[in-house]
A and B are shown apart, each in its own frame.
Chain A
Amino acid sequence: MTYILQQGLNSLQLGSIYALIALGYTMVYGILTMINFAHGDLFMVGAFLCFLAATFLHLPFVPTLLIAMIGVALIGVVIERFAYKPLRQAPRVSAIITALGVGIFLENFTLVFAPYPQHVPTLIKNTTWVIGGVSVSSLQLIIIALSLVLMVLLDFIVRKTMVGMAMRAISWDKTIVPLMGIPLNLVISATFAIGTSLGGAAGVMYALAFPVIDPYMGIMIGWKAFIAAVVGGIGNIRGAMIGGFILGGVEILVAAFLPSTYRDFVAFTLLLILLIFRPYGILGKPRPQKV
């Protein structure tokens, strides 16, 4: 029982990181029906900004987190303006190829400055408590709590604010949005800023939990978070959160009961089976084609 509780806690930690990244994929897909395949690499940039702020500026946790989130958001907005916006009318595949290219650029740009894996200093004093046989670390709690706070905040923005309403309107029909007096490009930039900043926050948390980082760390995690977004229903915000936690849970549980080399194999098989029965994901709905 304590074993299950322990693994449950671990899956919450991993799941919240996946969920934060998955949100970035799903938000961008929601408004532009495009998969931003550079998003995993923006997560990596977030980890590196955390490393830079902590190592060279000796900043504590909160300013480091803010620097990483704002830095990644700015990069995300710039990428959208210069790489994706010119392709808005182009076939979707062109935008996707561009996104892959941007991702490779980010990896290699980082590689120039960090050819070797880097060690991220400890920013949060790691205290571990043992409660009923389950060991709980302060870092784990902070990661889970902070992710939940960010997700609740995002949910609030999307559901209650004018910008959030405009984002949802764009996802329905972006040609009508300017007729409401809404500057389309500004809302798209805001979406990129928010979505990528969550990826940046995930990068910081990941770097603190697994403190050896390298420029390719975003590839596999990015793919996994993308799959989490699809499992939850791509374009659906709450779906991305659920998908992230499901993926984290499945991965940890598989590794808990089977040899850990089976982890990805079994986890993804399960997810593929889920998609056979729910092809639009858990919360996704088929959209009627407009004629």
Chain B
Amino acid sequence: MSQGNVLLSIRDLTISYGNIMAVKGISFDVYEGEIVTLIGANGAGKSSTLRGVSGLIPYKGVITFQGQDMKSIPADKIVAMGIAQVPEGRGIFGNLTVLENLKLATWSRKDKHEFPKDYQRVFDIFPRLSERQGQLGGTLSGGEQQMLAVGRALMSRGKMMLLDEPSMGLAPVLVREIFSVLREINQAGTTILLVEQNANMALRIASRGYVLETGVIAHTGTGQKLLGDPRVKEAYLGG
């Protein structure tokens, strides 16, 4: 399944909050063009791992992106390097319009002439957003906010998209819609690292998955293999 070069490499990643160790020395790689998913229960360290990659929290260990060491690079520069994060809980700015939310994500881009094309791409993927361009982010439904969060990540034109529980709080039909969009985005060339509690959905679109249990990688394999793994089935897929 691995296509091309290592894009993101994580070695011995350890993340602590005070005395509590959330991530205990995990290592994995994400190859260009893949969808890799981290699944696991609440508190397994999935979100912390993402937050480490996007530069929001300090960590021990080494994270490299396209071969470049990411340590001590501030979060805003990491976006400019090509990593866009869709944060947990969507993180839409409720006091900004849909269009302003999208526009804000172009902050680190210089190629202004390309913006209209990218807005159009987002509106083609999510026609609902197009209808609501002038509406405040806070007035959108949960599903629309998630679409906007994904659209915003597209606007920064990263090589890689990190998603933190995009299915959270959404009706199953919307979850399917978002996930099929993620697959499209991936096929168009964006590498995806997806953190999910909805293991079933995540493993179905993932090239590879890692199961995190209390800060360590418990199982790993292709999405198909993990879906069929009895241990994973029992713990995360409802038996």
**Would B94 and A172 count as touching, CB distance under 8 A?**
yes
Which B residues, 87 to 124, have Cβ-Cβ distances below 8 Å to chain A? 87, 91, 93-96, 100, 103-105, 107-108
- Selected from A169, A171, A178, the residue in CB contact (under 8 A) with B74 is A178
Contacts of B96 in A (CB 8 A): 165, 168-169, 172
Q: Size band of the A side of the interface? A: 10 to 19
Contacts of A183 in B (CB 8 A): 74, 76
Query: Given the known A-B contacts A162-B103, A162-B107, A169-B104, are A179 and B54 also in contact in the complex, defined by CB atoms under 8 Å?
Result: yes
B70 CB → nearest A CB, Å: 14
| B85 within 8 Å of A (CB atoms) | yes
**A166 closest partner in B (C-beta):** B104
- Selected from A162, A169, A171, A176, the residue in CB contact (under 8 A) with B87 is A176
| A184 within 8 Å of B (CB atoms) | yes
Contacts of A165 in B (CB 8 A): 96, 100, 103-104
**A170 closest partner in B (C-beta):** B93
Query: Given the known A-B contacts A162-B103, A166-B107, are A178 and B76 also in contact in the complex, defined by CB atoms under 8 Å?
Result: yes
**Would B104 and A162 count as touching, CB distance under 8 A?**
yes
Q: Interface majority SS on A: helix, strand, loop or mixed?
A: helix
| A91 within 8 Å of B (CB atoms) | no
**Would B91 and A173 count as touching, CB distance under 8 A?**
yes
| A272 within 8 Å of B (CB atoms) | no
Please list 26 pairs of residues, one from A and one from B, whose beta carbons are closer than 8 Å in the complex, sorted by A's number.
A162-B104, A165-B104, A166-B107, A169-B96, A172-B93, A172-B94, A172-B95, A172-B96, A173-B93, A175-B56, A176-B87, A176-B93, A178-B55, A178-B76, A179-B85, A180-B76, A180-B79, A180-B104, A181-B80, A181-B107, A182-B76, A182-B104, A182-B107, A183-B74, A183-B76, A184-B76
Contacts of A181 in B (CB 8 A): 76, 79-80, 105, 107-108, 156
